[in-house]
Amino acid sequence: MRVDVFLKQTRLVKRRSLAKELCDEGAVAINGHSARAGREISSGDELTLTLRNRRLAVEVVGVPERPPSVAAASDFYRVVSDERIEHD
């Protein structure tokens, strides 16, 4: 599954277009390497999202075959770390 689609379906970001923009800006990394929106992900990968004042690292537990319900969306990842970033 594409990383931008995964981010949208698991509700880590609200819109797929936003997920694509984050990838284009270099704010998404897979296993420590910058990721483009079309990069395929699989179980066991670690995604790192750098948002405005937050860095979120999650481990991909599973890849949904179809869009999950709101309640089931968080079953596909495990939060590794969630930290605030201070800007100068």
pLDDT digits (tens, 9 = 90+) for 63-78: 998 889 999 999 999 9
pLDDT of residue 52: 86
* CA distances (Å), origin 13, targets 7, 18, 38, 64, 88: 6, 7, 16, 16, 25
CATH topology of domain 3-84: 3.10.290
pLDDT of residue 29: 95
Paired strand residues for 48: 29, 57
For the chain, the domains span: 3-84
Q: Any idea which of 28-37, 67-76, 79-88 has the lowest mean pLDDT?
A: 79-88
State if pTM tops 0.75.
yes
